[in-house]
Amino acid sequence: MCNELSIGLQVVWHVPNADEIAFAFEIFDELVVPTFDKLEALLGDDVARDATWRNDFCRYLSFVRDAFSGIASLAKEEATEEERKVYYATSDLAYVTFCSSVLPT
């Protein structure tokens, strides 16, 4: 991975230690799991689906979605060159290599 961009900036990544990762999971357990339970409860057959229900459902769903999208950054998975080609060929995201000459000098 490139740590120095061609424009003279150096990127220093923070790598969490075991205590920080455990704390992240503790927050997840204390905040996300109960919110997910509330979200599931809103899907019950006996729940009136009024404006309050819609508001709660949207808030809880957004919270849980954001939490799950952030938790993925804890798992490091390396893709093969072939897998990356497939990802970029089927993605709307542009393929950019920061270590190449795409950045101005």
3-state secondary structure of 5: coil
Give the whole-angstrom CA distance, residue 62 versus residue 56.
Answer: 10
Residue 105: pLDDT band (50, 70, 90) is very low
Residue 79: pLDDT band (50, 70, 90) is confident
Give the whole-angstrom CA distance, residue 38 versus residue 48.
Answer: 14
Domain map (residue ranges) of the chain: 18-73
What mean pLDDT comes out for the span 27-51?
92
Q: pLDDT of 48-64, one tens digit each?
A: 999 999 999 999 999 99
| Predicted TM-score of the model (pTM) | 0.56
Which is more confidently placed, 51 or 105? 51
DSSP state of 72: G
Is the predicted pLDDT of residue 80 greater than 90, yes or no?
Answer: no
Is the predicted pLDDT of residue 97 greater than 80, yes or no?
Answer: no
